[in-house]
Amino acid sequence: MVAVLLLSLAGCGSESNSVLEETFEQLSTVQPNTDISIQNHDGAVLVYGSNTNKLQVHATKRAYSRTRLKEIAIDVSVQPTSVSINVKLPPKPSWALFDRSGTVDCTIVIPATANISLLRLDAGEVFVDGMHGRSVHAWLGDGRMVAHNCFTDSDLALQRGNLSLSYDWWGPGKFTIQADIGRGNAWAFLPSKAAFYLVAETVRGRVASDFDDAPVARAASARAEKINTSVNGGGEAAIKVRTANGDVTIVEANP
């Protein structure tokens, strides 16, 4: 575990106008199918699946005072079959005009076969790459969520913001991607030869797909649209994307 204190000036003036940074690192050995739970508040959670039996956590804490910086805690608990990563921020001052309780950016490398039972971030960016374990469950309150090359059952929920699903290649496999957005847009970038069952729908917005001119069904509400079709024969994979208020775009990445 390493902690390094760095001072990064965000502008001229007193310490209250400067951003303080502290980095945290931890390396542990874990089981290939270990259960991972990650909770953060403001900042980023970037998760990379790798051909390894190691857990590597690198986090950058940021705050406007040394006191606040020290109050931000990163708790990593490694058990025989599970890992918990929990970021704890100090309470937000009720009298402040702006929230300066701090942010934490976490980069986490885990076995690609691990199970992400919980990934929760209140605001910021969620990025999940290269997972093919049992499942991924990710929730984001406000911000941007990206899932890249994840061949696993995935439950992705975003209250407000934009979602991107992307695959650089495609292989046979049985998995379901279920993405639900409260308010925001969704894009899925898929190879031309990808075979999957597609459900893309919006309550208020537009739905479009590059694959086989899939018909768009318009519901009783003039603002609701839906695509329900099999792409390239369907296969065993399913991609289901729904937004309550926004657009859904399915892109043939390499036509």
Residue 150's closest CA among 171, 166, 131?
131
240-to-100, 154, 186 alpha-carbon distances in Å: 37, 10, 11
Residue 113's closest CA among 39, 50, 166?
50
Which structure tokens are listed for 150?
A: 């994840």
pLDDT of 91 reads: 75
Sign of CA dihedral 229, 232, 233, 235: negative
DSSP state of 33: T
pLDDT of 134 reads: 96
Q: Facing residues of 128 across strands?
A: 47, 147
Residue 162's closest CA among 139, 138, 187, 137?
187
81-to-7, 29, 61, 94, 181 alpha-carbon distances in Å: 38, 11, 28, 40, 32
At which residue do the structure tokens 């898929």 appear? 190
**Measured distance CA(30)–CA(34) in Å, rounded:** 7
pLDDT tens-digit profile, the chain (255 residues): 444 444 443 334 444 568 899 999 999 999 999 999 999 999 999 999 999 999 999 999 999 889 889 999 999 999 999 999 999 987 766 655 455 578 999 999 999 999 999 999 999 999 999 999 999 999 999 999 999 999 999 999 999 999 999 999 998 889 999 999 999 999 999 999 999 999 999 999 999 999 866 656 665 555 789 999 999 988 899 999 999 999 999 999 875
**Environment class of 144 (CB within 10 Å of its CB; exposed 0-12, middle 13-18, buried 19+):** middle
Residue 229's closest CA among 244, 214, 213?
214
pLDDT of 102 reads: 87
Strand (E) or helix (H) holding 68: helix 66-71
**Measured distance CA(225)–CA(88) in Å, rounded:** 41
pTM for the whole structure = 0.88
